[in-house]
Amino acid sequence: MDLRETSPIPTVALPVAVLRDHLRLSSGFSDVTTQDALLEQFLRAAIASVEGRVARALFQRDYLLRLTRWRDGYAQPLPVAPVVLVGSVTLIDRTGTQTVVEPSRYVLDADGTRPRIEAVGTALPMIPARGAVEIAFTAGFGTAWDDIPADLRQAVLLLAAQYYEGRETGGDADMAFGIRALLERWRDLRLGGWS
């Protein structure tokens, strides 16, 4: 399995000003934006860490999942939620020739915690021998900061602040208890991988 993000979070969507206010960097300084590049870096790291823990995309963006075999012949789980759209399913043979699968052959089960594509009929299309399949999909709560649930937003801010405050000393690599507590209800117990 190879999962790639094909459309990163735009810089304008990041809550840099919100983090600046959270850290109280906006008060008493004439040039409050001098550290914005650093804050952006810590926000991106915090978002990646939170997303990794809860297997959910916070900001809506595009992904490409490449597989060499189906998990089972009828349905294929997607490793990140919430999935809002499957853009395409493409079969690739060993020579690199691509064949786009007709959308009428599969359907998205957009279950909020365990999304998957399912066959319409008895089975998903056969992946060519020594070939692969690529599934292009869009996942995330929304395109704006306010589309993300409040507890996940708070976890991102607290973690980004932890990274910022520990920047000189290397900081504490462990996520603080309060942040883990905010994420706990979003964590899924998944046995056997990302099924």
Domain check: are 113 and 169 in the same one?
A: no
When mean pLDDT is compared across 24-33, 43-52, 75-84, the lowest value belongs to 24-33
Q: What is the pLDDT of residue 175?
A: 76
pTM for the complete prediction? 0.86
pLDDT for position 173: 61
CA 69/CA 43 separation, integer angstroms: 35
Q: Report the b/e string of 86-95 with b at 16+ CB within 10 A.
A: beebbbbeee
Residues 125 and 158 both lie in one domain: no
Per-residue pLDDT for 23 more than 90? no
The reply to whether 190 falls in a domain is no
Q: How many domains, the chain?
A: 2
Burial degree of 47 (CB within 10 A; 0-12, 13-18, 19+): buried
**Within this chain, do residues 39 and 81 fall inside the same structural domain, yes or no?**
no
Cβ distance 112 to 82 under 8 Å?
Answer: yes
130 within a domain of the structure (yes/no): yes
3-state secondary structure of 9: coil
H or E element, residue 3: strand 2-5
Find the domain containing 129 and state its range: 61-139
Residue 189 is assigned to a structural domain of this protein = no
Cα distances (angstroms) measured from residue 35 to each of 13, 26, 149, 159: 17, 11, 26, 17
Start-to-end C-alpha separation, the chain: 12
Nearby residues of 60 by Cβ (< 8 Å), 6 or more positions away: 84, 138, 139, 140, 141, 142, 143, 147
Least confident of 25-29, 85-89, 156-160: 25-29
Phi then psi dihedrals of residue 18, to 5 deg: -65, -45
Which range among 8-12, 36-40, 184-188 shows the weakest confidence by mean pLDDT?
184-188
Residues 120-147, mean pLDDT to the nearest whole number: 95
Residue 195 lies in a domain: no
89, pLDDT greater than 80: yes
Indicate if the pLDDT at residue 195 is higher than 50.
Answer: no
Within a domain: 129: yes
Residue 69 lies in a domain: yes
Is 194 within a domain?
A: no
- On whether the CB atoms of residues 163 and 38 are closer than 8 A, the answer is no
Q: Same structural domain for residues 33 and 77? A: no
Residue 192 located in a structural domain: no
Tell whether 101 and 70 lie within a shared domain. Answer: yes
User: In this predicted model, what pLDDT tens digit does every residue of 56-72 receive, in sequence order?
Assistant: 999 999 999 999 999 98
Asked whether residue 153 carries a pLDDT value surpassing 50, the answer given is yes
